[in-house]
Structure 1
Amino acid sequence: MTRSIRCAKVAVLAPMETPLDYLVPDDLAVSVGDHVWVPLGYAKIRGLVTEISDTIETEFKLKPIAAKIDDEPVPAASLRFWLWAAGWTLTAPGTFLKGCLQALKTPKAQIKHGFVRTGAEPVKLTSKQMRVLEVAVLPMSAAELAQAAGVTVGVVQTLEKKGYLERVEFTTQGFDAPDPDFMTPTLNDDQAAADRLLEMEWDRQVFSPVLLDGVTGSGKTEVYLETVARALRDDPTAQVMILLPEIALTTAVMGRLKRRFGVDPVQWHSAISPSQRRRIWEGIARGEARLIVGARSALFLPYANLKLIVIDEEHDGSFKQEEGVRYQARDLAVMRAHQEGFMVVMASATPSLETLTNAQKGRYSWVRLEQRHGTAQLPDIDLVDMKAHAPEAGPTGDKWWLSNPLVKEIEATLARREQVLLFLNRRGYAPLVLCRACGERMTSPKTDSWLVEHRATGRLVCHLTGFSMKKPDRCPHCGALDSLTSIGPGVERILEEVRERFPAARAEIFSSDTTPDADSSAALIKRVEDHETDILIATQAAAKGHNFLNLTLVGIVDADLGLKGGDLRAAERTFQLLAQATGRAGRAEKAGKAVLQTYSPEHPVMQALKAQDREAFYAYEQMSREIAQFPPFGRLAAVILSAKDNALLNRFGRELSLAIPNTEGIDVYGPADAPLSLVRGMWRKRFLVRADRNRDLQGFMTAWLKSVKTPNAIRLVTDIEPYSFL
């Protein structure tokens, strides 16, 4: 006789390709999104319930779920998105979900016993007792309540005996609710027109991707914050996520959000503590945290009722995750909005070619802001041909890196008591150290990556692997004494030159070395805003999102830097970065100017920047990509192989190349040595897959890679839509 049984599919947190079936015991109540322990082999392993169904009992006996875990369930919409993202990135579901649940590794906050008002009417109470009742709105321990009211613990205990306070259990403080009407800004005509277009899109209450395209300083933030307010106002349970590319930007945006909504939004990034991460994760899953600002991983929080996503600086390459599970947060955010049928706003002054093309083709709504806010004007841009204006040598004979035209502009700016930004996207003192005697280039052990000199600490550092060593007196290769010389400039070297040329100017560096966390970034930004700094020497940390009102000159030390290498997005990235950097100049009443030092003034990127003709550059770049059928006109994927045994790697690379399916509309290139062919003692090879847009790239990749068994000694990594080609 057959009988019906309850069955659950469980995605175990292990590299399994599909969820596994388990029996749901009669005395166990589980739902989709619940955390459970299940038997797997001889062990018990954690998993997430992805599906519940009734089936007919068969001779094949299912193992029962061992236990339910008392953690906040994952909302169904978030779980559905996580599983889709796992498939999109060609990641085993359990591996992907394990990353989404990292915050739960920290133990739950200990439950405290506290006191809160019962609501009984006060009768014949002392002034001390009344003060306690006034502050006992939220649960607090007896000691915390007594301290807040300025009384002894005995007063609190007396009020409990009289029935005015009741003992409750609580864990941590809750989340302040944002007020969408706390401070309504005054928008100028351009901003108001853009806001009306966004309101029309919002009122449709369907999936609506929008490009908010505005020149630097046009006030895009104020415009998209009105859409945030609309979402919070229309639904008292709605959650809004604002994605930012850099922690350094979080500080600036947090202040603006607090002024607009009256509370600190919830922050999510790598710098917050493990206990805070768990508290935030649980608060979002319960729907208590409503306004969230974070880096790309905030996309994978367990939102209970997500209604709007804003992606600020949507073009930024930092939205691409390059380690572990590789994904492009912007693209996945659009899919999340599509799955749940809500609005996603992508804001940028220099949109990615993918987003701009979607807007041009009508797939995305396109809202434009073409004027700077108030009286501010876009800066004039001059190109300095470094072949004609080679910098002179310093007093000690060392090479200088600032040309005479740029130096004259700095002198004039400082004379007007205005501020200067010198931009060089290269950390440290020098990117290369070599031996004058034998030509040896200092590299990281078992890695092709050059060691970068950091003169401030006296060390040589590999920015790829993190390796660090004291700069030696002798060449490790030939033993020559004092033969190591620094090649090329980093921000530390520019600071050294600035201090020699402008000794009266107050100068400092803004990079991830000098501002490693949000607090140090905020402190430096405040010093610049308070004009305690005259010359700011910065990497891309200062190129976007900051509004320095007295900064009128931007000098680009090496405008050609990003054009080097074989990256298909090199020109686009360089244009975006330099447009953002030059856009820091003249953001208030004072006129701004930018000076770009370049050895290739005729390059289309430089000509477009000088003419401030963004459309001409994008048209040129789109034409180049369309001819090659590269994104956004085609799709890309990468396969990266690495192994300690180079011979084994070469053999497997050939075997994998022989197994490439013959599929029309899909081309595979490789295997080829990676540009950095040796990293941490592992040899590396790459395949590049190009597919027409109407082809199932993930299906092709899955079929191809499953056709050959990967040896245990070889690591195989897939990257859908790669950004890095190292």
Structure 2
Amino acid sequence: MAITSTDKYVKVAIPVPMRQLFTYKLPAKLNVNAIKLGERVIVPFGSRQVVAIVLAVDDDTEYAAEKIKSILSRVKDNFSFSAELLNFLQRCADYYHHPIGDVFQQALPVLLRQIKQPDVELPQIWLTKESLTDEEHTATQKRAPKQGELLTLLKQHQGMTWSELLTLGFNKAQLNALEKKQLIYSESRPVEVFSWQDSALQQDNRLELSAEQAIIVATIKEMQKQFSCHLVDGITGSGKTEVYLQAMEEVLAANKQVLVLVPEIGLTPQTLARFEQRFNVPICLHHSGLNDKERLQTWLEAQRGSAAIVIGTRSAIFTPLHDLGLIIVDEEHDGSFKQQDSFRYNARDIAILRARQLNIPIVLGSATPSFETLQNALTGRYHYHQLKKRAGNASTAKISLIDVAQQQMEHGLSGTLKQAIKNTLERGEQALVFLNRRGYAPAINCQECHWIADCQRCNKPYTLHQGQGLLICHHCGSQKRIPPQCPSCGSVRIKSLGQGTEQLEERIGELFSDFSTVRIDRDSTRKKGELAKLLQQVSDKEHQLLIGTQMLAKGHHFPDVTLVAVLDVDGALFSYDFRAAEHMAQLLVQVSGRAGRASKPGKVMVQSNFPDHPLLQDLVNNGYQHFAKQALIERQQAMLPPFSFQALFRADANYPSYPEKFLRALTEHSFDGCQFAGPVPAAMEKKAGKFRYHLILQAKSRKQLHQAVFQLIHHSANNEWQSKVRWSVDIDPVDLSW
């Protein structure tokens, strides 16, 4: 029975791993009548104080009033969640069965999660001086080419922020040098709602659409004021970005905002560059390469309505846009859109949810759509658009398979491939060598006693990083120095096993010493702005040989790359994960798409020990579309997603029996239309000292799945092993190896 009093009570979300709201008393001194839903307040929680989000205000409570603590203070700023964003985040928490306080925590910028509030400054923009002469511009270009490039950019786009310049590959030294020469200056960008001007569209860079592209743009524009989900399934280089740009024009002209999601920070510089060339409007960025203050600035500008376009990676979906009119998800198939720890959301899926809630269109673009998206398009749930031809005179690169068993190998390269690379370089063209394994070598061992340097916390070999002089575990991050001799037998005959991109760069540099080689992976692009800098060098043809991981595989436009070599795809052909073949095909097609994107024809050479494997043969001879449709038939026969729905329960503990017993207890419950698989050890059973087990719950319908998950979470509270394990639930898992 509720206890009524003159006090008011609020229910708040607190960032703790508990699936509930917490009730607090509202003291009269805090102006209780003015408190708003979505507002941030400071509350006592145990022995500490935390920032909480107000989700409900009540006149009474079911608890004894004298036992309820009071709110300490309200956060005195204007940064609260709108009703639309509150509803969206609550629905996300419900769908993913995740603690609601943590969901709101993830949606807030880091600086707004803290009790001490940040000093919020107006965004600084950089401009060229009004009296800048052609002579000064030319002189700068001659003396300092990079400063000249920066000056040209600022001259074309008056009013660029530091985060934009950083993303495009410039640094503070270049900016400071131009300021010291009094060629540029900075000023605060005024806080005003974005308003479209006729001069905002730069017509010179607008391309003429093909018939296929024009139909897609017209369809999206026709449905501008209602929810519609559009899949743009276009082969690599077919002009999907131009479709996005022209679809955005009418949205921006109506003074509405556009949110563009890209899977990785690596795609942000080129996306920003294309958008800057087309639109002279405020563009804000949100990605991990920016610091907390810069990301807060994007959040605030989006909320105030001064940002016209927001470009970001997956967490940008939570940006509080003032008047959102269109969402674009580029490379929608990419696994990077799925958060793999804590709040395990899929940014693509909740972007569709947000578009539906706001009644606006959303565009999903990919050359290799995920099977879930493709099935929705084939059954008519999404509008299905195809782009079957490359833009301009570019032709699709031909894929050929090399049987490495029939070749003499040197440094992981077959004789056929070495000759092809040599011919390409001698024609003055560029070659890309793809190996999805960073580091120097995946292991080291002793030639005498066969000892292998294993990470004791993961039972997996350390990866050798020769340049850093370290052995690094890519699973838990632990590091150690390279031992001078074997700790087991004392031998100094320690040798690396296998090959990573670092070693490949060294070996290829020796084989083709007359040409410049560049490596692009997570190790070589750690420094701020380094990725954009290296990509620009590739575009300027400073390097002829490109070596890299999947960072190079998608989205990048290298007009002079005519040969792509793929060194290792065999692992995915025999994987336990039913999605492995799908991911392999997507990666292979995406990296193949880097070849022959301009007028020069391109080719792709794939080395394999199993060139006759039916999956490879189908992909090479019939293309991704045929491969995907055949795989969907197999999925349907096996009743696997997207023809069923899954939730993955993960549990880990210091002892292997604990997580297994915890998950085993969950299988004692039965649900209509649902079945369990497991519990089984995870593909990598031990990680960071913890033993890990998986339990998959599969259901015929989404409703049955969520009802069962809800019941299992409830039952877990009474599970005798619950206090001995750390566990989580992952709705719609995409990678069973985590």
Query: Normalising to structure 2: TM-score of the pair?
Result: 0.84
Corresponding position of 1:544:
554
- Alignment-mate amino acid for residue 11 of structure 1: A
What does residue range 315-334 of structure 1 map to in structure 2 within 5 Å?
315-334=333-352
Name the CA distance, whole Å, in 2 between partners of 1:585 and 1:293: 26
Change (3 A) 1:613 1:214: same
Query: In structure 2, do the counterparts of structure 1 residues 650 and 336 end up closer, same or farther at CA, with 3 Å as the change threshold?
Result: same
Q: Deviations 1:521-579 (Å, cap 9, x if unpaired)?
A: 11111111111111101111111111111111111111324334312211111111110
User: Share of identical aligned residues, percent?
Assistant: 33
Equivalent position SS for 2:98 = coil
1:409 maps to which residue? 420
Partner residue, 2:140: none
Counterparts of 1:525 and 1:111, CA distance in 2: 33
For residues 440-519 of structure 1, the aligned pairs below 5 Å read 440-476=451-487, 478-517=488-527, 519=529
Q: Which residue of 2 aligns with 1:396?
A: none
CA offsets 1:355-400 (integer angstroms, 9 cap, x no match): 1110000000011111101000001111111122241x5xxxxxx2
Q: Tell me the distance in 1 between the aligned counterparts of 2:459 and 2:18.
A: 34
- Is 1:99 aligned to residue 106 of structure 2? yes
1:84 aligns with 2:84: no
Q: Is the CA contact 1:198–1:227 (under 8 Å) kept in the aligned structure 2? A: no
Q: Who is 1:154 aligned against? A: none
Change (3 A) 1:654 1:261: same
Aligned to 2:166: none
In the TM superposition, residue 251 of structure 1 has moved relative to its aligned partner by 0.7
**CA distance in structure 1 between the aligned counterparts of 2:513 and 2:192, rounded to whole angstroms:** 51
Aligned partner of 1:284 in structure 2 is 302
Question: Which whole-Å CA distance do the structure 1 matches of 2:368 and 2:625 have between them?
Answer: 10
Which one of the candidate residues 241, 258, 263 is aligned to 1:245?
263
Question: How far is the alpha carbon of 1:2 from its aligned partner?
Answer: 7.5
Go from structure 1 to structure 2 and tell me whether the alpha carbon gap of 1:41 and 1:489 turns closer, same or farther (over 3 Å shift). closer
**188-197 vs 536-545, greater mean Cα deviation:** 188-197
Aligned equivalents of 2:518, 2:344: Cα separation in 1: 35
1:287-346 residue CA offsets vs partner (Å, 9 max, x unmatched): 222311111011122233222111100011111111221121111111111122111110
| Residues 139-218 of structure 1 mapped to structure 2, 5 A cutoff | 181-183=201-203, 185-190=206-211, 192-203=213-224, 205-218=225-238
Structure 2 portions without partners, runs of 5+: 124-158, 160-178, 183-187
Q: CA deviation at 1:227?
A: 1.7
Residue 670 of structure 1 and its aligned partner are, at CA, apart by 1.4
**CA–CA distance in structure 2, aligned partners of residues 216 and 624 of structure 1:** 26
Matches within 5 A, 1:32-43: 32-40=37-45
Q: Secondary structure at the match of 1:257?
A: helix
| Residue aligned with 2:589, SS | helix
Matches within 5 A, 1:311-390: 311-390=329-408
Structure-2 residue corresponding to 1:19: 21
Label 1:383 to 1:8 Cα distance change in 2 as closer, same or farther (>3 A). Answer: same
In structure 1, the residue matched to 2:647 is 637
Quick check: 1:190–1:369 contact (8 Å CA) kept in 2? no
Would the aligned equivalents of 2:196 and 2:253 in 1 still touch at CA under 8 Å? Answer: no
The one of 602, 610, 617 equivalent to 2:612 is 602
Q: Quote how far apart the aligned CAs of 1:248 are.
A: 1.0
Match of 1:222 among 238, 242, 246: 242
In the alignment, the residues of structure 2 paired with residue 307 and residue 221 of structure 1 have an alpha-carbon distance, to the nearest angstrom, of 18
TM-score of the two chains, using structure 1 as the length reference: 0.86
DSSP-derived class of the 1:637 partner: strand
Residue 77 of structure 1: how far off its partner (Å): 0.8
Where 1:613 maps in the other structure, the secondary structure is helix
**Pair 57,451 (structure 1): closer, same or farther in 2 beyond 3 Å:** closer
- Once the two structures are TM-superposed, the CA of residue 652 in structure 1 deviates from its matched residue by 2.9
Aligned to 1:387, the other structure's residue is in SS state helix
1:259 alignment partner, one of 268, 277, 280: 277
1:49 paired with 2:54, answer: yes
AA aligned opposite 1:290: A
Single out whichever of 55-64 and 318-327 deviates more from structure 2: 55-64
Name the Cα RMSD after superposition. 3.0
How many residues were matched structurally?
666
SS across alignment from 1:696 = helix
* Cα contact 1:461–1:469 (8 A) shared by 2: yes
Whether 1:624 aligns to 2:624 is: no
Give the 3 Å change call, closer, same or farther, for CA 32–643 of structure 1 in structure 2: same
CA distance in 1, matches of 2:414, 2:479: 32
Q: Counterparts of 1:2 and 1:666 in 2: how far apart (Å)?
A: 44
Q: Secondary structure at the match of 2:406?
A: coil
> Aligned equivalents of 1:519 and 1:177: distance in 2?
31
Partner-residue secondary structure (3-state), 2:723 = coil
Distance 1:411 1:271 in 2: 36
Instruction: Please state how far the C-alpha of 1:7 moved relative to its aligned partner.
Output: 4.7
Structure 1 regions of 5+ residues with no counterpart?
115-137, 139-146, 151-169, 394-399
Kept in 2: contact 1:5–1:56 (CA 8 A): no
The letter for the 2-side match of 1:266 is: C
Q: Distance in 2 between matches of 1:348 and 1:559?
A: 21
| Distance in 1 (alpha carbons) for counterparts of 2:249 and 2:492 | 62
Rounded to whole Å, the distance in 1 between the matches of 2:93 and 2:283 is: 29
Using the alignment, how far apart are the partners of 1:37 and 1:46 within structure 2?
5
Do the aligned partners of 1:508 and 1:536 also contact (CA within 8 Å) in 2? yes
Distance in structure 2 (CA, Å) of the matches to 1:319 and 1:445: 31
Contact 2:675-2:698 within 8 A present in 1 as well = yes
Partner residue, 2:150 = none
1:573-584 to 2 correspondences below 5 Å: 573-584=583-594
Deviations 1:58-96 (A, max 9, x none): 985665544321131111111111111112221111122
Q: Larger radius of gyration, structure 1 or 2?
A: 1
Letter aligned with residue 69 of structure 1? V
Query: CA 1:390/1:636 → structure 2, altered by over 3 Å: closer, same or farther?
Result: farther
Partners of 1:314 and 1:351 within 8 A in 2: yes
1:688 CA displacement: 1.3
In 1, Cα distance between equivalents of 2:85 and 2:10: 18
Q: Is the 8 A contact 2:51 2:113 kept in 1?
A: no
Q: Counterparts of 2:97 and 2:549 in 1: how far apart (Å)?
A: 34
Residue 565 of structure 1: aligned partner: 575
What secondary structure sits across from 1:541 in the alignment?
helix
- Alignment partner of 1:222: what SS? helix
Distance in 2 separating the partners of 1:296 and 1:69: 27
1:693 aligns with 2:701: yes
